[in-house]
Amino acid sequence: MAFPAFDLPALLPPREGQEDYHPGRLTRQDLPEGRPWLVYFYPRALTSGCTTQACALRDGLAAPESVERAHGLLVLGVSPDPVSRLKRFAEKEQLNFPLLSDEDHRLAAACGVWQEKKLYGRVSMGIVRSSFLMDGAGIVRAVNPKVRAATHHDWLRQTLQETPLHQPAGGQAGAKLQAS
C-alpha cells in the first residue's frame, strides 16, 4: 500500500549554512525518490512522551554509524499542533527533521490514527501515536500502530535491520529536503 498524498504546513530544519528553522509546506512530491522515510504521528509537541520520542529519533539520525543514517532515512513528525508550537518544540529540542502540522487531522484520518481516546474516563478524539515506514518508492513496509514513546526508536532500528527497503537507482533529494 502506498502512503497517502499530503500537502501540509511544515516547519523545516535549518539548511546547511543556516541557523533558523523555517515554515513552509511539504507535499509527498517533495520527498526524495529512492530514500526510505518514516512518518510518525504524535499527539502534542512539547510534552514529555513526544519529547522522548523526538529526541531519540534526532539522536539516531545524527549518530555517524546509525542504522538510520546507513539507510539514508528521512523522518517526518506529524501532529495536530500549529506551526508556531512546532517551532518552539524544534528549537527547544534542536530537532533535525521536518515537523508537519495536521491541524485539520486530514492526514491522520487518512492513515487511521485520528481515533477516539479515553483518558481518566474522558472521551475525546486525538492522534494515536503511530509510525509508518516507507521504502524509497513510498510503499508502506512496516507499521507500528500503537507506539510507546520510550521504545519507538528500538522498534525503528530493529525494523530497519529486518525490512528490505527498495531503493530505485538515481534517487535524488527533493528540492525542499537536503540529504542528511
17's torsion region: left (phi>0), alpha (psi -120 to 50) or beta?
A: left
CA–CA dist 3, 112 (Å, integer): 12
Whether the Cβ atoms of residue 153 and residue 54 lie closer than 8 Å to each other = no
Known catalytic residues are 50
Write the burial class of residue 76 (CB in 10 Å: 0-12 exposed, 13-18 middle, 19+ buried): buried
CA–CA dist 166, 180 (Å, integer): 19
Nearest to 56 by CA among 160, 152, 142: 152
- In angstroms, the Cα distances linking 100 to 41, 75, 122, 171 are 9, 11, 27, 23
